[in-house]
């Protein structure tokens, strides 16, 4: 026993001798903002990164040519301070001011900008993530260190919304094959507010403040993105004080943090919407029908009646927990320049919908289910994702609403990949879908053009709804070439009005972005738009850059106590193991011989 | 026991027998591995969805780009030809490139093996020690309150789903242990702080893994010891005047250990797979989590890679168990 105790105290002393290091280190510990990432990071190479979490980290390291204002998202200075366009809108001249520096001290010049864009225009791999921005570029040149000249083939509306991280030529010209370059060298050569300082795949990504950032240094020292597999785990970590900032929460998770000490919630206008797509006639670009959609859905009167019979407010209240805004067109209210307020809001009116279907020639059969002129009963499949609680709950709700209309709905929840396959092949009647939107509306609008449909029955297009409408397409072409913001906004709204009237899909609601932070460690964050906007997943990095630590922020509090517990665990294991060994030896030493 | 005379049969013949035995086992293992490769390739091709669509999810791509990607990765080739390429690459040690991470599968698996081995290794070591000890104690004093209680507790753990137990433990222990990951990002560098932090993070996933697996070691150990307990050689040992715990340790346990050893090795292979749920619950950056991510894509090359590696681990452990059995048990060696 004496030996056991001595062994225990020796290991204990060894561990305790190591422990005092921790509190001293803690005393000098930098002020750190710890943020959860639940989404995977596909790459730190800004030419390859496509996932939101990855592009956000790219933005922290590399400024774009221009940025979006925190308050109202209008274009503001980033790498370029000023810009002008030629009379024919084909030539843009950007000025890169003197005095901005890469984090290794080299000046940021127009040559870096030209290098970045030219790389994307000549190297296919470099065009992986953001190639669409430069696809219409004819040439990019830097006649001197301060001037960038971009010539486009046709006028391009997104010239002040080029979401392309500008990289340092003196570093990236040494890179061999872009596709093979992970860009995880630390410290990174950054132009943005943060510098990559440590990367551990699937554990965490550490950045430190760029003290020489031209806008001014961030107000704290380090920014850590910590990887969590589930939002539940991240919420728990925030509650325990292991994290300072969490987003992408569901209504239940958000509500669970309500009223907790030291935690502040942020309910923000979001960029994502949920929709119910109606198969209005899946076909290829040449009009050859594909899939097996129900013929009655080709009739716009049926689609309108369905839209009228679904109570969107009730779905938002019951399924979204109230954390969503009513949908009209695909573009959410967070982008007021393009969001549609319909001329005439479609009322929730099941009685009127019933009457309209009666008049349109869909009488009720003996079992109460309506029947079309072809004798086919109105029995629709509604396909949703097994992985999404929203689809299950909203599906049941829609099933109930349409039953009142004399339409039978069979809700089928399937795996995401199977759903994608069925959607692409047009094998559905009703299907749940959803998208995140950008400040520039072009992409989200393009999903409903005739050209987005598949080229042949064996290929897949980018279409969301198989919608093909001449009026919509004409407006789409016009808005793409319209450089006057007011006129473009008008065209975009007319497109959405057409979408709203023709009902290729019903926008069920624009989700709120639900975020929470530890207000005992960080006093405030910059939101975008301000007020009412998000901290994370902004169109910029104002949220991280503008974070203000609380006066007595004791960040990293879990470190030392964690070390202590870890030490105790090690001591227990060592002492336990030692005791067993000693006990055995004692037994053996007293052993009788056979 | 007829073991001694057989074991003494011509040494040369015995040596040849061992070689043949080893060769036979290795051949069997290679056949299984080949089956795994074939199954892995075709099984995951049954998952609906186009890998190129997975690859480009969330990106603005046109059809020409998709067609090009399909050609680049060979997804436009007939499936037999794709399989041929895959096997060729695999033989050269190339498991392909992950569609999502755009890094080689070998590299991704390599960086995740360490954490998994640490977690699974530690928990298996503790679970085996605990299981064997409880099994021996229980069998030696069969039907004692200790035996009944420990068997009951073990079965309770065995019956619990790992993910559920993990979440429960995490909730019950409150602020005592971290909610996930392998270390805090803010832990100072240096061996001691890092090691202690990892130990701290390992407690809950380890306890969960131990709780759900140790029962099988305990029960097998218990029942095989019970079988030995009435054997004549134990009476002989007692008659020689050995103390009770020496009879147990020197005579009964070594004989009863044989089936347990096989089980332990089989399960080291399987536990790697079993860690998928625990790694997911605790965001432990290991192979299990990688498999989960690959499946969520689905990221075909990564999925095939992890499948081959995990199944390969089971096969290798099987062979090791077979070979070790030979060393431990003269009866197997002789036959």
Closest chain A residue to the Cα of B126, Cα to Cα: A573
User: Min CA distance, B270 vs chain A (Å)?
Assistant: 22
Asked if B189 has any chain A CB less than 8 Å from its own CB, the reply is: no
Query: Which residues, in sequence order, are CB contacts of A447 under 8 Å at separation 6+?
Result: A330, A435, A462, A463, A464, A465
Higher pLDDT, B74 or A452: A452
Q: What is the pLDDT of residue B10?
A: 46
Q: Quick check: B178 and A237 CB within 8 A?
A: yes
Residue identified by tokens 């009963």 is A377
Contacts of B181 in chain A (CB under 8 A): 203-204, 226-228
What is the rounded average pLDDT of the residues A426-436?
Answer: 92
What confidence tier does A590 reach under pLDDT thresholds 50, 70, 90? very low
Asked if B101 has any chain A CB less than 8 Å from its own CB, the reply is: yes
Query: Which residues, in sequence order, are CB contacts of A590 under 8 Å at separation 6+?
Result: none
Q: How far apart, in whole angstroms, are the C-alpha atoms of residue A47 and residue A131?
A: 9
Q: DSSP string of A449-500?
A: SGGGS-SSTTS----SS----HHHHHHHHHHHH---HHHHHHHHHHHHHHHH
Q: What is the pLDDT of residue A424?
A: 84
What is the rounded average pLDDT of the residues A544-566?
Answer: 68
Is the pLDDT at B247 greater than 60? The verdict is yes
Q: What is the pLDDT of residue B332?
A: 66
Asked if A532 has any chain B CB less than 8 Å from its own CB, the reply is: no
Tokens at A216, concatenated:
């001014």
Q: What is the pLDDT of residue A1?
A: 40
Is the pLDDT at A426 greater than 60? The verdict is yes
Task: Determine what percent of chain B is predicted with pLDDT higher than 70.
Answer: 87
Q: Quick check: B200 and A15 CB within 8 A?
A: no
Q: What is the pLDDT of residue A265?
A: 96
Phi, psi dihedral angles at A156 (to 5 degrees): -120, 125
Instruction: Name the CA radius of gyration of chain A, rounded.
Output: 29
Q: Considering all CA atoms of chain A, what is the largest pairwise distance in Å, rounded to the nearest integer?
A: 106
Please report the residues numbered 44 through 83 in chain B whose beta carbons come closer than 8 angstroms to any beta carbon of chain A.
Answer: 47-50, 53-54, 58-63, 66-67
What is the rounded average pLDDT of the residues A87-104?
Answer: 94
Q: How far apart, in whole angstroms, are the C-alpha atoms of residue B125 and residue B146?
A: 23
Tokens at A122, concatenated:
């000549």
Q: What is the pLDDT of residue B334?
A: 60
Q: How far apart, in whole angstroms, are the C-alpha atoms of residue B281 and residue B168?
A: 11
* Bridge partners (DSSP) listed for residue A382: A411, A430
Tokens at B22, concatenated:
């080893």
Q: Provide the 8-state DSSP code for A512.
A: P
Is the pLDDT at B160 greater than 60? The verdict is yes
Q: What is the pLDDT of residue A583?
A: 64
Is the pLDDT at A152 greater than 90? The verdict is yes
Distance from the Cα of residue A284 to its chain's centroid? 30
User: Min CA distance, B140 vs chain A (Å)?
Assistant: 18
Three-class SS of residue A342? coil
Residue identified by tokens 């507010």 is A193
Residue A148: in which H helix or E strand, if any? strand A147-152
Q: What is the pLDDT of residue A45?
A: 93
Query: Which residues, in sequence order, are CB contacts of A317 under 8 Å at separation 6+?
Result: none
Phi, psi dihedral angles at A570 (to 5 degrees): -60, -45
Closest chain A residue to the Cα of B247, Cα to Cα: A594
Asked if A415 has any chain B CB less than 8 Å from its own CB, the reply is: yes
What is the rounded average pLDDT of the residues A35-51?
Answer: 87
Asked if B232 has any chain A CB less than 8 Å from its own CB, the reply is: no
Q: Provide the 8-state DSSP code for B312.
A: H
Query: Which residues, in sequence order, are CB contacts of B220 under 8 Å at separation 6+?
Result: B135, B259, B260, B263
Tokens at B314, concatenated:
């089971």
For residue B171, count CB atoms less than 10 angstroms from its CB and return exposed for 0-12, middle for 13-18, buried for 19 or more: exposed
Asked if A129 has any chain B CB less than 8 Å from its own CB, the reply is: yes
Size of interface A-B (CB pairs under 8 A): 176
Note the pLDDT tens digit of each residue in B294-315.
Answer: 887 678 888 888 888 888 888 8
Q: Quick check: A229 and B53 CB within 8 A?
A: no
Closest CA to A116 of A60, A193, A55, A63: A63
Q: Quick check: B200 and A569 CB within 8 A?
A: yes
Interface test with B, best of A41, A45, A417 (most B CBs within 10 A): A417
Task: Determine what percent of chain B is predicted with pLDDT higher than 90.
Answer: 12
Q: What is the pLDDT of residue B213?
A: 87
What is the rounded average pLDDT of the residues A201-207?
Answer: 89
Q: How far apart, in whole angstroms, are the C-alpha atoms of residue A369 and residue B294?
A: 44
Q: What is the pLDDT of residue A580?
A: 67
What confidence tier does A585 reach under pLDDT thresholds 50, 70, 90? low
How many other CB atoms are found less than 10 A from the CB of residue B308? Answer: 20
Is the pLDDT at A5 greater than 70? The verdict is no
B30-33's contacts with Cβ under 8 Å and 24+ in sequence apart are: B32/B315, B33/B308, B33/B311, B33/B312, B33/B315
Cβ–Cβ < 8 Å for B182, B171: no
Note the pLDDT tens digit of each residue in B102-113.
Answer: 788 898 888 888
Q: Which of A391-395, B76-80, B176-180 has the lowest mean pLDDT?
A: B76-80
Q: Quick check: B53 and A460 CB within 8 A?
A: yes
Q: What is the pLDDT of residue B101?
A: 80
Please report the residues numbered 435 through 464 in chain A whose beta carbons come closer than 8 angstroms to any beta carbon of chain B.
Answer: 443, 454-455, 459-462
Cβ–Cβ < 8 Å for B324, B21: no
Closest chain A residue to the Cα of B97, Cα to Cα: A180
What is the rounded average pLDDT of the residues A239-243?
Answer: 91
Is the pLDDT at A337 greater than 80? The verdict is yes
Residue in A226, A443, A594 closest to B185 by CB: A226
Closest CA to A436 of A134, A52, A128: A52
Instruction: Name the CA radius of gyration of chain B, rounded.
Output: 25
Contacts of B282 in chain A (CB under 8 A): 233
Question: What sign for the dihedral angle of Cα A410, A413, A418, A424?
Answer: positive
Q: What is the pLDDT of residue B273?
A: 65
Arithmetic mean of pLDDT over chain A: 87
For residue A560, count CB atoms less than 10 angstroms from its CB and return exposed for 0-12, middle for 13-18, buried for 19 or more: buried
Asked if A278 has any chain B CB less than 8 Å from its own CB, the reply is: no
What confidence tier does B289 reach under pLDDT thresholds 50, 70, 90? confident
Is the pLDDT at A132 greater than 60? The verdict is yes
Q: What is the pLDDT of residue B316?
A: 86
Task: Determine what percent of chain A is predicted with pLDDT higher than 70.
Answer: 90
Asked if A14 has any chain B CB less than 8 Å from its own CB, the reply is: no
What confidence tier does B186 reach under pLDDT thresholds 50, 70, 90? confident
Closest chain B residue to the Cα of A20, Cα to Cα: B193
Is the pLDDT at A18 greater than 50? The verdict is no
Tokens at A525, concatenated:
């964050």
Cβ–Cβ < 8 Å for A116, A96: no
Residue in B101, B179, B182 closest to A240 by CB: B179
Note the pLDDT tens digit of each residue in A352-383.
Answer: 999 999 999 999 988 999 999 898 999 999 99
What confidence tier does A155 reach under pLDDT thresholds 50, 70, 90? confident
Is the pLDDT at B2 greater than 50? The verdict is no
Residue A74: in which H helix or E strand, if any? none
Higher pLDDT, B36 or A84: A84
Phi, psi dihedral angles at A551 (to 5 degrees): -50, -50
Question: What sign for the dihedral angle of Cα B35, B38, B41, B46?
Answer: negative
In angstroms, what CA-CA distances link B175 with A155, A231, A557, B200?
Answer: 58, 18, 12, 12
Closest chain B residue to the Cα of A442, Cα to Cα: B60
The A272-278 sheet, strands edge to edge: A324-325, A505-511, A272-278, A430-436, A379-385, A408-414
Crossing angle of helices B145-159 and B191-228, rounded to 10°? 120
Tokens at B247, concatenated:
């009879």
Please report the residues numbered 263 through 322 in chain B whose beta carbons come closer than 8 angstroms to any beta carbon of chain A.
Answer: 280-283, 285, 289, 292-293, 298
If DSSP states are collapsed to H, E and C, what string results for chain B?
Answer: CCHHHHHCCCHHHHHHHHHHHHHHHHHHHHHHHHHHHHHHHHHHHCCCCCHHHHHCCCCCCCHHHHHHHHHHCCCCCCHHHHHHHHHHHHHCCCCCECCCCCCEHHHHHHHHHHHHHHHHHHHHHHHHHHHHHHHHHHHHCCCCHHHHHHHHHHHHHHHCCHHHHHHHHHHHCHHHCCCCCCCCCCCCCCHHHHHHHHHHHHHHHHHHHHHHHHHHHHHHHHHHHHHHCCCHHHHHHHHCCCCHHHHHHHHHHHHHHHHHHHHHHHHHHHHHHHHHHHHHHCCCCCHHHHHHHHHHCCCHHHHHHHHHHHHHHHHHHHHHHHHHHHHHCHHHHHC
What is the rounded average pLDDT of the residues A96-113?
Answer: 95
Closest CA to A301 of A356, A241, A224, A226: A356
What confidence tier does A523 reach under pLDDT thresholds 50, 70, 90? very high
Distance from the Cα of residue A221 to its chain's centroid? 26
Phi, psi dihedral angles at B259 (to 5 degrees): -60, -30
What is the rounded average pLDDT of the residues A504-519?
Answer: 95
Phi-psi region of A241 (alpha: psi -120 to 50; beta: other; left: phi over 0): left
Asked if B143 has any chain A CB less than 8 Å from its own CB, the reply is: no
């Amino acid at each position: 026993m004496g030996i056991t105790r001595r062994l225990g105290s020796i290991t204990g002393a060894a561990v305790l001798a190591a422990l005092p290091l921790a509190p001293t280190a803690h005393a000098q510990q930098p002020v750190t903002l710890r943020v959860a990432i639940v989404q995977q990071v596909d790459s730190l190479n800004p030419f390859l990164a496509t996932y939101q979490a990855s592009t956000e980290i790219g933005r922290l390291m590399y400024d774009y040519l221009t940025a979006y204002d925190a308050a109202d998202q209008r274009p503001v200075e980033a790498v370029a301070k000023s810009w002008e366009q030629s009379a024919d809108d084909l030539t843009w001249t950007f000025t890169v001011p003197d005095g901005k520096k890469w984090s290794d001290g080299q000046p940021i010049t127009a040559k870096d900008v030209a290098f970045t864009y030219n790389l994307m225009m000549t190297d296919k791999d470099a065009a992986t993530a953001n190639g669409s921005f430069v696809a219409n570029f004819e040439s990019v040149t830097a006649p001197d260190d301060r001037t960038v000249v971009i010539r486009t083939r046709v006028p391009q509306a997104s010239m002040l919304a080029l979401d392309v991280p500008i990289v340092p030529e003196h570093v990236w010209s040494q890179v061999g094959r872009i596709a093979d370059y992970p860009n995880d060298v630390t410290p990174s050569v950054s132009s943005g507010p943060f510098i990559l300082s440590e990367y551990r795949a699937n554990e965490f990504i550490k950045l430190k403040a760029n003290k020489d950032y031209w806008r001014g240094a961030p107000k704290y020292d380090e920014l850590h993105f910590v990887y969590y597999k589930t939002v539940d785990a991240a919420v728990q970590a925030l509650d325990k004080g292991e994290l300072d900032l969490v987003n992408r929460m569901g209504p239940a998770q958000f509500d669970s943090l309500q009223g907790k000490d030291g935690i502040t919630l942020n309910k923000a206008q979001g960029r994502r919407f949920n929709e119910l797509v109606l198969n209005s006639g899946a076909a290829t670009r040449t009009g050859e029908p594909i899939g097996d959609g129900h013929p009655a859905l080709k009739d716009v009167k049926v689609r309108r009646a369905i839209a009228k019979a679904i109570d969107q407010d009730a779905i938002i209240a019951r399924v979204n927990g109230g954390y969503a805004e009513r949908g009209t067109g695909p573009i959410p209210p967070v982008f007021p320049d393009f969001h549609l307020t319909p001329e005439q809001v479609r009322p929730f009116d099941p009685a009127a919908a019933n009457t309209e279907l009666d008049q349109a020639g869909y009488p009720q059969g003996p079992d109460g289910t309506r029947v079309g002129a072809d004798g086919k009963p109105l029995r629709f499949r509604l396909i949703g994702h097994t992985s999404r609680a929203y689809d299950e709950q909203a599906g049941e709700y829609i099933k109930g609403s349409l039953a009142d209309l004399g339409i039978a709905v069979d809700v089928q929840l399937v795996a995401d990949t199977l759903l994608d396959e069925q959607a692409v092949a047009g094998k559905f009647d009703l299907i749940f879908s959803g998208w995140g939107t950008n400040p520039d509306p072009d992409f989200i609008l393009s999903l409903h053009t005739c050209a987005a449909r598949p080229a042949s029955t064996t290929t897949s297009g980018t279409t969301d709804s198989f919608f093909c409408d001449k009026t919509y397409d004409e407006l789409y072409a016009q808005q793409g070439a319209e450089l006057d913001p007011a006129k473009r906004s008008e065209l975009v709204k007319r497109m959405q009005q057409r979408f709203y009237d023709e009902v290729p899909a019903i926008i069920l609601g624009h989700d709120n972005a639900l975020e929470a932070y530890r207000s005992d460690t960080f006093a405030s964050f910059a939101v975008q738009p301000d007020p009412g906007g998000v901290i994370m997943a902004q169109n910029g990095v104002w949220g991280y850059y503008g974070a203000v630590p609380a006066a007595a922020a004791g960040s990293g509090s879990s470190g030392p106590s964690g070390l202590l517990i870890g030490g105790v665990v090690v001591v227990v294991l060592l002492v336990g193991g030692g005791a067993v060994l000693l006990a055995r030896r004692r037994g053996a030493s007293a052993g009788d011989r056979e | 026991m007829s073991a001694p005379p057989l074991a003494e049969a011509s040494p040369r013949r015995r040596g040849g027998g061992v070689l043949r035995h080893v060769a036979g086992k290795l051949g069997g293992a290679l056949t299984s591995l080949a089956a795994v490769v074939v199954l892995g390739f075709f099984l995951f091709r049954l998952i609906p969805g186009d890998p190129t669509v997975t690859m480009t999810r969330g990106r603005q791509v046109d059809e020409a780009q998709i067609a090009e990607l399909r050609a680049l990765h060979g997804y436009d080739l007939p499936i037999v030809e794709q399989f041929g390429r895959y096997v060729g690459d695999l033989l050269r040690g190339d498991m392909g490139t992950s569609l999502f991470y755009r890094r080689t599968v070998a590299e991704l698996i390599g960086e995740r093996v360490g954490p998994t081995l640490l977690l699974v290794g530690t928990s298996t070591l503790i679970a085996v020690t605990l299981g064997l000890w409880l099994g021996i104690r229980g069998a030696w004093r069969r039907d004692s309150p200790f035996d009944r209680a420990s068997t009951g507790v073990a079965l309770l753990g065995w019956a619990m789903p790992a993910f559920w137990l993990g979440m429960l433990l995490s909730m019950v222990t409150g602020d005592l242990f971290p909610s996930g990951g392998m270390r805090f990002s803010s832990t100072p560098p240096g061996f001691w702080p890092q090691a202690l932090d990892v130990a701290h993070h390992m407690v809950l996933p380890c306890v969960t893994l131990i709780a759900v697996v140790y029962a099988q070691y305990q029960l097998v150990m218990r029942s095989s010891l019970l079988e030995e307990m009435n054997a004549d050689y134990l009476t002989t040992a007692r008659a020689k005047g050995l103390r009770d715990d020496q009879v147990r340790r020197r005579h009964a346990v070594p004989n009863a250990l044989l089936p347990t050893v096989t089980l332990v090795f089989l399960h080291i292979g399987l536990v790697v797979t079993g860690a998928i749920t625990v790694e997911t619950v605790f965001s432990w950056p290991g192979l299990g989590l990688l498999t989960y991510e690959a499946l969520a894509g689905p990221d075909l090359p990564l999925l095939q890679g992890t499948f081959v590696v995990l199944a390969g681990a089971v096969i290798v452990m099987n062979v090791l168990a077979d070979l070790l059995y030979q060393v431990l048990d003269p009866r197997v060696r002789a036959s």
